[in-house]
Amino acid sequence: MGERAPDGSSKTGKSAKKAVGAEGAASPGKKAAKKVTKRAETPAETPAETPAEKPAEPPAEEPAEKKPAPAAKKSAPGKKTASAKKTAPAKKTATAKKAAPSKTAAKKTAPAKKTAVAKKTSVAKKVKPADVVLPADAVVKKAAPVKKIVVRPPGGESPTALVRSARRINRELAEVYPYAHPELDFENPFQLLVATVLSAQTTDLRVNQTTPTLFARYPTPEDLAAADPDEVEQILRPCGFFRAKTRSVIGLSKSLVENFGGEVPGRLEDLVTLPGVGRKTAFVVLGNAYGRPGITVDTHFQRLVRRWKWTDETDPDKIEAAVGALFPKSEWTDLSHHVIWHGRRICHARKPACGACPIAPLCPAYGEGETDPEKAKKLLKYEKGGFPGQRLNPPRAYLDAGGKPAPPLGAA
């Protein structure tokens, strides 16, 4: 009999147990390995699928770790398998747990993006009719007034019909006034510029009677720029508003000397920088001194184009744009002369001579004035009524057509 170990087993028994254990350990190890693989697979699969629904259930894994404990006591290989059991599932479950929250986070964030996009689209749908459409309309009204005038003529006719009727009226006026010309006396661009500034709030006849004395004393911009304002005021007194006009003509003369070398510029943007010079005055100078087309919107022009239903605008700049859209640019200067001459001679502000008007069949405002031919003839002015015109030195064509020059200032 061999020696017994403290636990009561003999050495021979112990060695026998080792031998038997060496053979028997293989089968329990295999069984344990199978169990480990099965258990290792199930925790790896279940946490990946279930944590989204039940994120934290650690008690479910504890029985799987406690069951292999007896196998660990029986054999050393069992301890290795136990450690494998503990480490492998732990790593896998840890990774699974880490991966699972990322999926859940992805699931949470993805709907957030969708809802954010949905919110943006819904907000855009709500905001669009209120904040997008209305400003666009407001921009159209400010940016393209001429287009609106062309699309919706005041007379209710189509744009094409309006263009045709307007151009026909201009052709008729060109036959009535083939010698139409600017009714201010001038010999150079500087004289025309000063005379046009002086013609504000007075007649061209009064200006033509006043400027000969002014230009005789101050023939150049340098002379007028250095003039005594009191002397200039005395000369310009018959034109009305003589103090303001004195400041304007002296100021523009100084500007011509300082900024343009004493010469009248031939560009619109330069002319309007001069004191007392606006678009109307600039277009008179450009059209009649430099041959560059422009529309002169004075009081006669404004009155007649509204009577003829060419436009219902009241602002001179808008009238210029609206009427300019109806005619070729090359006709703008002559058109201005035709309309202004007709307004001064026949189509008056208070009593139009409708009965003596050569364009009465074309006029949409016919009947506003005197329609009786005999009474209407008595309302005619200037050469149509046998009276002298407004120029002291009119063109030869005007005189050949029966026109008479105006008398000088102070003549009986």
Catalytic residue IDs: 280, 298
Buried b / exposed e over 14-37, threshold 16 CB at 10 Å, is beeeeeebeeebeebbeebeebbe
Distance, first Cα to last Cα, the chain? 173
Q: At what angle do helices 229-236 and 242-259 cross, to 10 degrees?
A: 130
Question: Mapping DSSP to helix (H, G, I), strand (E, B) and coil, where does residue 201 land?
Answer: coil
Q: For residue 123, give both structure tokens.
A: 């907000």
Smallest CA-to-CA distance from 280 within 268, 270, 292, 262 is with 268
Smallest CA-to-CA distance from 384 within 401, 371, 397 is with 401
Buried b / exposed e over 179-217, threshold 16 CB at 10 Å, is bbbbbbbbeebbbbbbbbbbbbeeebbbbbbbbeebbee
CB distance 331 to 170 below 8 Å: yes
The residue assigned the tokens 């169990």 is 35
Buried b / exposed e over 144-161, threshold 16 CB at 10 Å, is ebbeebbeebbeeeeeee
Q: What sign does the CA torsion over 307, 312, 318, 324 have?
A: negative
| Per-residue DSSP letter, 199 | T
**Long-range contacts, 87-92 (Cβ 8 Å, 24+):** 88/36, 88/40, 89/39, 89/40, 89/43, 89/44, 89/61, 89/64, 92/40, 92/43, 92/44
